[in-house]
Amino acid sequence: MGETLAKLSIASKVEDDALLGAFLERHGRRIAAMPPGICPVAAQLSLLQAAAAQTCGKCVPCRDGLPRLVAMIERVAACEAGEDELRACRSLAEMVRDTSDCAIGYEAAQALLEGMDAFASEYESHVRSHGCREGVKQSVPCETLCPAHVNVPGYIALVEAGDYAGAVGMVRKDNPFPTACALVCEHPCEAHCRRTLIDAPLNIRGIKKYAVDHAPADTVPIPVHSADTARTVAIIGGGPSGLTCAYFLALMGHRVTVFEARKQLGGMLRYGIPAYRFPRERLDEDIRGILSAGSITARCECPVGLHEMGEIAETYDAVYIAIGAQTGKTLRMDHADAAGVMSAVDLLGRIGDGDYPDFSGKRVVVVGGGNVAMDCARTSVRAGAAEVTVVYRRRKEDMTALSAEIESAIAEGVEMIVLQAPVGIETDEAGRCAALITQPQMIGPVRGGRPAPIAADKPQDRVEADVVLIAVGQDIQAAPFEEYGLETNRGCFVVDEYLAVTGRDNVFAGGDCQTGPATAIKAIAAGRVVARNIDEYLGYHHTLRSDIPVPQAHENDRTPRGRVEITERPARVRRNDFDHVENGMSREEVEQECGRCLRCDRFGFGVSEGGRQQYA
Amino acid sequence: MPSIKIDGTVFEAAEGATILEAAQQAGIRIPTLCYLKDANAIASCRVCVVEVEGQEHPVPACATAVRDGMSVTTDSLKIRAYRQVALDLIISDHGLDSTRYCFSCDKNGACELQALCREYGVLEPTYRQAKEHKPILDANPFLSFDPNLCIVCQRCVGACNATARNHTLATGKRGVRTVIEAPFGEDWLATGCESCGNCAQACPTGAIAVKRRGGYRSWETERVRTTCPHCGVGCQLDLVVKDGRVVDAEGAPGPSNQGLLCVKGRSASFDFVDAPDRIRTPLVKNSATGEFESATWDEALDLVAARFAEIRDAQGGGALAAFACSRATNEDIYLFQKMARTVFRTNNVDCCARV
């Protein structure tokens, strides 16, 4: 080296680093595809092994401590270690955390220690009972992660085979809203798709959309319901959860009455999601299907208060409360009640019954970063607003809205002003809203898993606005039910794991009014669970069998391919109307997408006893 | 019906058949280990792998459906090598050095793993690993589980769940390892296990075994097919006979039992055959001494017939009743009630088969 000191080499010091990039991307995909049901100790071990492999070999705690920790956790993971060894492991990890020179060492030990606390009961099971806790078992990722446990590989195979009605029927076995979920589901099924190991998760929602586009739900016959039981069930709330419960109870032969406060059925699918994302006529396809399942009487414009609840509880054999979270949260700030300031939920609710606003020439500001905020912003664009701005107190990447929604809003001309917290409304002489006053924020420490904003040392700002839409969350109108004597916690109904309200065996609650505002598919799953539990409560054990055969699996296609994404109509066109924004896949595209399915119901643990997670 | 070419010959396969089923139907043997008809086709052992023309990777014959025009090779150097490695990996984790060596295992000579390893020349494990010996579960009076010999083929799981439908034997997790959780430990009485032993019959090795297997070696025995005498279901079983004595019973394929047995059929229907206090001739009580004395069948039956006839003629048929043992076959019980109605002239008939 001495003789070349004067000259500089441009050659990379570590040639393989560039090459390694692709392999590390693979590593990342493997972590992304972590199968549901994996033992948390095993998952931690793999993280620790990765850390131990990263050590540069300089310092004792990391160089020697991490491999020792790996060996110890290997024994813990294999359920061979005792409590003493686990204690020894903890104290070694504390030493590594406290004395490592760099983050390669101390972060690895910190992660291990945090995991030991987070998964304390699993660790305890390993060292005391020498086995994982019951339920630690892998299962088919998509089906497991779908809250309603829809047989995803089954309907993908049916779409591939061209049997779209079969696919709709397969979805409907667990979820009577195939169209809603094809169009607006947040697709948790895709999160740990095993295909991620090879290229990317399947576009499961897109495949389902192809099925319902080619076999509309109301054209696919509903299974024949069981014999009439003459037992009556009242369902309060005609949204996704209530209607799901009604559907399955009707199939079981029970007589269902749905009490809906609004003019039409559908809940937030109609009164919360704009038509350009979920056209009303498509929602009606699902609802027509549901109502044809058996004895379902829908009583719209029938709000249930204290008096009605008393009557219902006395009249019906069982009650399901699925009233959702219908009122918009408000912000406590000056002039929050000025003309022009309105709740996002109210705006979308009125649109649900066809009362579209006219924002022609107006400057609209939406406060919030969730899907409802995006829905409002995009609706305002379509309502003719001159400019639409979303004001959010965190960063864009912290928004809870789906990133596709954010992107679409931006494409349609919505401006995102981030790191600004609303502090007040500026009014004009007439008391009308003129601007939103904001306090700039800076992103700060991570709290509860995500970075929290703190007030920045900057002067207040103002965003001119004729209309301010508040989209900062929703509340549950639980008051009449609380008065009736049902237990709630911060407005949410308190239930047991079977969704029976505390202290009641025939009153159940589920969906948004029990969980707080969440997704349609979670509400659907709750309706499915309650239907079964009401059936059990009534003394029946109806089984809802599906006789749709799942096509044989073909061998895995191991060739990496891109994921087919659903495209949208051009922003400059779609922003002018409320028509559906999405285009469908072509047959060619859906075939490639279905062909990527690794059929985890047939390959891997899915084929073993206990390898499926299904309600049916 | 799809047509399939196996090792160069074309056969018609049944609709929906697997390659294995098609080959079996055609009389071509594909070796299997974890596969058990109607109970387990999870394709875990990879011993039944075959080559399919046009497919890059071998496929498990037990779980791959036949497609029309498929061309399958069941044996080749490549396939043999894969099978050898699979068997090698399995015996490397089979506890050969632990609780029981092959020769001292109760299943020696009847072990499917042993037979396959001999067939494929896998004579010792390549991937040796030091393992802690796990305790054997043998609190159950009829069955024991030696986890050290378990190859986790899950045939027992299929037998307990898919066929016997008892749902008491399942897989569990030890971190990344899947293990069999057999309910034969100290708390066996508290489990739902009925000790039917279908898991033991399904086990290809000596991991789950009927305890009485220790009393014989399979090559010392012969099998006699018969009907279980324990109730009217008519399960078919093979009595395992060593030196003229019944030492075990195995479920045999019969229309009512499909190879399954219950605890009574497997473990409680034959020990009385050689019981020292078994009554081997009819006994007639000597009214003078009050003692039972040996009699011929003719003497005993004549006596019984005469006494019953007397009672019937004196008191009418209503004075008599016929009560059959639940262990009689349906055919015997039918004849018995027929006799009661026609000879005894009574409708007082019953049987304890409702136990």
What is the extent of the structural domain holding A183? 141-221+546-607
Give the per-residue pLDDT at A4. Answer: 57
A77 closest CB neighbour out of B16, B65, B176: B176
Residues in chain B within 8 Å Cβ distance of A126: 174-175
**C-alpha A96: how far from chain center:** 37
Q: pLDDT band at residue A259, thresholds of 50, 70 and 90? A: very high
Q: Does B195 reside within a domain?
A: no
- Altogether, the residues listed in chain B come to a count of 355
Q: pLDDT band at residue A281, thresholds of 50, 70 and 90? A: very high
CATH code where residue B36 lies: 3.10.20.740
pLDDT > 60? residue A2: no
Q: Confirm or reject contact between A130 and chain B (CB < 8 A).
A: yes
Q: pLDDT band at residue A16, thresholds of 50, 70 and 90? A: confident
* Mean pLDDT confidence for B215-227: 95
A609 closest CB neighbour out of B57, B158, B176: B158
Number of domains in chain A: 4
Choose one of B75, B91, B123: the last residue of a domain.
Answer: B75
pLDDT > 90? residue B129: no
Q: Does A615 reside within a domain?
A: no
CB contact under 8 A, B175 and A555: no
* Mean pLDDT confidence for A420-432: 95
| Check: complex ipTM more than 0.90 | no
DSSP-derived letter for residue B103 is G
Spatial contact of A571 and A194, defined as CB atoms under 8 Å apart: no
Give the per-residue pLDDT at B327. Answer: 80
Q: Confirm or reject contact between B42 and chain A (CB < 8 A).
A: yes
pLDDT, tens only, A337-369: 999 999 999 999 999 999 999 999 999 999 999
Are residues B262 and B228 part of one domain?
A: yes
pLDDT > 90? residue B331: no
Q: Does A16 reside within a domain?
A: no
Of the residues A123, A133, A599, A609, the best mutation for testing chain B's interface (the one with the most B CB atoms within 10 Å of its CB) is: A609
Residues in chain B within 8 Å Cβ distance of A602: 63
Phi, psi of A296 (to 5 degrees): -125, 120
Q: Does A29 reside within a domain?
A: no
pLDDT > 60? residue A1: no
CB contact under 8 A, B154 and A608: yes
Q: CB contacts < 8 Å between A and B, how many? A: 57
Give the per-residue pLDDT at A545. Answer: 80
Residues in chain A within 8 Å Cβ distance of B157: 608-609
Are residues A347 and A461 part of one domain?
A: yes
Q: pLDDT band at residue B355, thresholds of 50, 70 and 90? A: low
User: Could you give the CA distance from residue B285 to residue B20 in angstroms, rounded to a whole number?
Assistant: 62
Q: pLDDT band at residue B33, thresholds of 50, 70 and 90? A: very high
DSSP notation for B144-172: EE-GGG-----HHHHIIIIIS-----EEE
CATH code where residue A356 lies: 3.50.50.60
The total of other beta-carbon atoms located within 10 Å of residue B266's CB is: 28
Residue of B nearest to A75 (CA): B175
Q: Which structure tokens are listed for B266?
A: 């497997």
Q: Does A20 reside within a domain?
A: no
CATH code where residue B222 lies: 2.20.25.90
CB contact under 8 A, A555 and B42: no
With a CB cutoff of 8 Å and minimum separation 6, the contacts of A160 are: A551, A590, A591, A594, A595, A597
Are residues A426 and A360 part of one domain?
A: yes
Are residues A381 and A434 part of one domain?
A: yes
pLDDT, tens only, B252-288: 999 999 999 999 999 988 888 989 999 999 999 999 9
Percent of chain B at pLDDT > 70 equals 99
Give the per-residue pLDDT at A15. Answer: 75
Give the per-residue pLDDT at A433. Answer: 96
Q: Confirm or reject contact between A48 and chain B (CB < 8 A).
A: no
pLDDT > 60? residue B137: yes
Are residues B61 and B7 part of one domain?
A: yes
Q: Count Cβ neighbours within 10 Å for each residue of B110-128 and write b for 16 or more, e otherwise.
A: bbbbbebbeebebeebeee
Q: Does B271 reside within a domain?
A: yes
Q: Does A23 reside within a domain?
A: no
Percent of chain A at pLDDT > 90 equals 92
Choose one of B20, B51, B75: the last residue of a domain.
Answer: B75
Q: Confirm or reject contact between B165 and chain A (CB < 8 A).
A: no
B173 closest CB neighbour out of A132, A607, A608: A132
CB contact under 8 A, B173 and A136: yes
DSSP notation for A353-401: TT-----TT-EEEEE--SHHHHHHHHHHHHTT-SEEEEE-SS-GGG--S
CB contact under 8 A, A39 and B173: yes
Q: Does B342 reside within a domain?
A: yes
Residues in chain A within 8 Å Cβ distance of B169: none
The total of other beta-carbon atoms located within 10 Å of residue B92's CB is: 17
B65 closest CB neighbour out of A42, A126, A552: A552
CB contact under 8 A, B175 and A42: yes
Are residues A98 and A113 part of one domain?
A: yes
pLDDT > 90? residue B328: no
Q: Provide the chain B residues 203-262 that lie in CB contact (below 8 A) with chain A.
A: none
Are residues A470 and A377 part of one domain?
A: yes
Q: Does B66 reside within a domain?
A: yes
pLDDT, tens only, A501-548: 999 999 999 999 999 999 999 999 999 999 999 999 999 999 888 889
* Mean pLDDT confidence for B187-206: 96
Q: Confirm or reject contact between A47 and chain B (CB < 8 A).
A: no
* Mean pLDDT confidence for B70-97: 93
Q: Confirm or reject contact between A77 and chain B (CB < 8 A).
A: yes
Q: Does B339 reside within a domain?
A: yes
Are residues A345 and A434 part of one domain?
A: yes
Percent of chain B at pLDDT > 90 equals 84
pLDDT, tens only, A204-215: 999 999 999 999
Give the per-residue pLDDT at B98. Answer: 60
pLDDT, tens only, A18-62: 788 888 999 999 999 999 999 999 999 999 999 999 999 999 999
pLDDT > 70? residue B232: yes
CB contact under 8 A, B43 and A607: yes
pLDDT > 80? residue A299: yes
Give the per-residue pLDDT at A216. Answer: 97
Q: pLDDT band at residue A276, thresholds of 50, 70 and 90? A: very high
CATH code where residue A86 lies: 1.20.1440.230
Q: Provide the chain A residues 387-416 that lie in CB contact (below 8 A) with chain B.
A: none
Are residues A467 and A372 part of one domain?
A: yes
pLDDT > 70? residue A131: yes
B172 closest CB neighbour out of A41, A131, A607: A131
* Mean pLDDT confidence for B114-136: 89
Are residues B225 and B270 part of one domain?
A: yes
* Mean pLDDT confidence for B129-155: 92
User: Could you give the CA distance from residue A417 to residue A519 in angstroms, rounded to a whole number?
Assistant: 26
CA atoms within 13 A on the CB side of B343: 14
A78 closest CB neighbour out of B59, B177, B181: B177
Give the per-residue pLDDT at A616. Answer: 66
Q: Does B311 reside within a domain?
A: yes
**Mean of all residue pLDDT scores within chain B:** 93
Are residues A470 and A348 part of one domain?
A: yes
Residue of A nearest to B165 (CA): A609
Q: Does B157 reside within a domain?
A: no
For residue B292, give the amino acid letter: F
Are residues A464 and A344 part of one domain?
A: yes
Are residues A512 and A468 part of one domain?
A: no
State the smallest CA–CA distance between residue A68 and chain B in angstroms: 18
Are residues A554 and A528 part of one domain?
A: no
Choose one of A99, A129, A159: the last residue of a domain.
Answer: A129
Q: Does A90 reside within a domain?
A: yes
Q: Confirm or reject contact between B280 and chain A (CB < 8 A).
A: no
Residue of B nearest to A607 (CA): B42
Are residues B11 and B57 part of one domain?
A: yes
B175 closest CB neighbour out of A132, A608, A610: A132
* Candidate from A107-116, A305-314, B121-130, B220-229 with smallest mean pLDDT: B121-130
Return the H-helix or E-strand segment holding A91.
Answer: helix A83-99
Are residues A166 and A66 part of one domain?
A: no
Residue of A nearest to B178 (CA): A137
Q: Does A33 reside within a domain?
A: no
Residues in chain A within 8 Å Cβ distance of B172: 131-132, 137
Q: Does A32 reside within a domain?
A: no
Are residues B59 and B7 part of one domain?
A: yes
**Mean of all residue pLDDT scores within chain A:** 95
With a CB cutoff of 8 Å and minimum separation 6, the contacts of A246 are: A233, A235, A256, A258, A290, A293, A296, A527
What is the extent of the structural domain holding B19? 3-75
Spatial contact of A197 and A29, defined as CB atoms under 8 Å apart: yes
Number of domains in chain B: 3
Q: Does B150 reside within a domain?
A: no
CB contact under 8 A, B171 and A609: yes
E strands, A160-293, are 232-236, 255-259
Choose one of B75, B92, B125: the last residue of a domain.
Answer: B75
Q: Which structure tokens are listed for B244?
A: 């003229």
Choose one of A427, A442, A474: the last residue of a domain.
Answer: A474
* Mean pLDDT confidence for A186-199: 97
Choose one of A129, A153, A173: the last residue of a domain.
Answer: A129
pLDDT > 60? residue A298: yes
Q: Confirm or reject contact between A75 and chain B (CB < 8 A).
A: no
